[in-house]
Amino acid sequence: MVRTPLTPWERQRGERLGALLREARGGRSMVEVAAAAGVSAETLRKIETGRAPTPAFFTVAALAAVLDLPLDDLAAACAESGDEDGRALSA
Mean pLDDT of 58-71: 97
* 33-55 pLDDT per residue, tens: 999 999 999 999 999 999 999 99
- The whole-number pLDDT of residue 78 equals 87
Whole-angstrom distance, CA of residue 56 vs CA of residue 59:
5
To the nearest 10°, report the CA torsion of 58, 21, 74, 4: -60
> In this predicted model, which residue has the larger pLDDT, 87 or 52?
52
Model's pTM, two decimal places? Answer: 0.82
* Domains, the chain, with CATH or none: 8-76 (1.10.260.40)
Cα within 13 Å of Cα(46), Cβ side: 13
Give yes or no for a contact between 18 and 50, defined as CB atoms under 8 angstroms apart: yes
